[in-house]
Amino acid sequence: MNKPPIDVDATVARITFKLAAYDVTQSEKTAYPNEAKGALWSTVPAPDWVSGFYPGALWYAYEFAQRRGWPDQDQWRQRADAWTVGITEEQFTTTNHDLGFMIMDSFGHAFRLTGEARYKSVVLQAAQSLGKRFIPQVGMIRSWGDIDDAKNYIVIIDNMMNLELLIWASENGGPADLKKIALDHADRSIVEFFRADDSTCHVLDLDPATGLVKRKYTHQGLNDESCWSRGQTWAIYGYAYLYEATGTDRYLQQSLKAAEYYLARLPTDHVPPSDFNSGLTALEFKDSSAAALASCAFFRLSRLCQAPADKTRFWDAAVQTLASLVNAPYFSKDSGFASALRYQARNYHPDATHRLTNTGLIFGDYYLLEALLAYDSATKA
């Protein structure tokens, strides 16, 4: 399928225009963008799991500004810092597993791009807070629920994205056992989340006393046996990262298996339905946020795979996906739509007018910027 070229600079200009437009409306940097059906973002406070994505997108904008020598790069740094500071207290939270999203996407990028110690200390504390949601008899990090719940121990596939926080901290001054927690979680996730066809389930409910699985089900997909597409991409991305971080081949193999399942079921525009088993093919039931995440993962796999054929295959998949996302109908140049990406889905839902589907999501825009950075790095090398 022929795709128009990827104009990185023009695309980033439109995304950053939208990011800056929201910042101008907010004197108090405490209402974080979440979802958008039109021109206005719904917002969440700092403790919400999506709070890190808007400051993370601003840090990505600052990274582009540095690469291109934008005259307003200092302003992008100031914007990113102002929104990052608002999440500071979340470093101490032990009530959820989402600290990787909240802290690595904000403070993690801040430290990576500036080297300022004040950012690093928050990341290190957040990793220790997340580590408290792990108990050895289960061998996984509790995703949802009270940390002391003696009846249920809920773990979701999304948690693969929070392991980077633990590994990074363990290698940058934090406790060494944080890395073991991350790898124990990853190893058991291979056993419990993946089905025989390499699709993933969404939610595990385990016995906190014994670690035994009580049931497997979905919260965001079609049904308990279906494959929620963004859940599949959490797995592809998470295991690709783990291979890059550790060099352990089983993580690469697991990422490749999950990727094969995903690629074999893609429509021609490389943007999946919100659930691969939904049978719904219209734009309104797609999830371009899953595609953005997949593009990021495929760029990484194209670097990590040793076989030339695999490098080419994943490069092509990454670029073809990105090319779809930065053009109509998925990319929104319209100032009347808050998000850069259209046709995103927080959950599978059969009603296109429902809040959870056919919408804009801040994390889709964040991963779109990440994919553009990856493409820019590779093509400018």
* Catalytic-residue membership of 105: no
| pLDDT of 295 strictly over 90 | yes
Please check whether residue 289 lies inside any domain of the structure: yes
| pLDDT of 228 strictly over 70 | yes
* Mean pLDDT score, 173-179: 97
| Residues 104-120 pLDDT 10s | 999 999 999 999 999 99
Which two three-digit tokens encode residue 231?
Answer: 């859940």
Please check whether residue 202 lies inside any domain of the structure: yes
pLDDT band at 334 (very low <50, low <70, confident <90, very high): confident
pLDDT band at 380 (very low <50, low <70, confident <90, very high): confident
Please check whether residue 3 lies inside any domain of the structure: no
Q: Report the run of H or E that residue 35 belongs to, with start and end.
A: strand 35-36
Q: How many helices (H) and strands (E) does the chain have?
A: 13, 9
Query: Using alpha carbons only, how large is the chain's radius of gyration in Å?
Result: 19
Half-sphere CA count of 245, side-chain side, radius 13 A = 21
Distance CA 176, CA 17 (A): 41
| Residues 148-162 pLDDT 10s | 999 999 999 999 999
pLDDT band at 328 (very low <50, low <70, confident <90, very high): very high
Distance CA 206, CA 156 (A): 11
Q: Name the residue range of residue 335's domain.
A: 8-380
* Catalytic-residue membership of 74: no
For residue 358, with 0-12 CB atoms within 10 Å meaning exposed, 13-18 middle and 19 or more buried, which class applies? buried
Partner residues linked to 44 by β-bridges? 32
Percent of the chain past pLDDT 90, that is, above it, reads 97
* Mean pLDDT score, 59-79: 98
Looking at residue 2, its pLDDT comes to 43
Tokens 């070229």 belong to 5
Please check whether residue 351 lies inside any domain of the structure: yes
* Mean pLDDT score, 309-336: 96
What one-character-per-residue DSSP string does 59-80 give?
HHHHHHHHHHT-TTHHHHHHHH
Looking at residue 335, its pLDDT comes to 84
Please check whether residue 1 lies inside any domain of the structure: no
| pLDDT of 1 strictly over 50 | no
The structural domain count of the chain equals 1
Which CATH number do you get for residue 236? 1.50.10.10
Which two three-digit tokens encode residue 42?
Answer: 């719904």
Buried b (16+ CB within 10 A) or exposed e, 305-332: beeeeeeebbbebbbbbbbbbbbeebbb
Percent of the chain past pLDDT 70, that is, above it, reads 99
Which residue in the list 23, 98, 269, 275 is annotated as catalytic?
A: 98
Buried b (16+ CB within 10 A) or exposed e, 218-243: bebbbeeebbbbbbbbbbbbbbbbbb
Are 144 and 162 a contacting pair, CB within 8 Å? no
Alpha helices in 86-226 (DSSP H): 99, 109-114, 117-131, 163-170, 177-193
Which residue in the list 158, 287, 365, 376 is annotated as catalytic?
A: 158
Are 245 and 318 a contacting pair, CB within 8 Å? no
pLDDT band at 5 (very low <50, low <70, confident <90, very high): confident
Pairing of strands 213-217, 360-361: unpaired
Looking at residue 381, its pLDDT comes to 66
Nearest to 60 by CA among 376, 307, 379, 366: 366
Are 99 and 93 a contacting pair, CB within 8 Å? yes
Question: How much of the chain is in helix, strand and coil states, percent to nearest 5?
Answer: 55, 10, 35
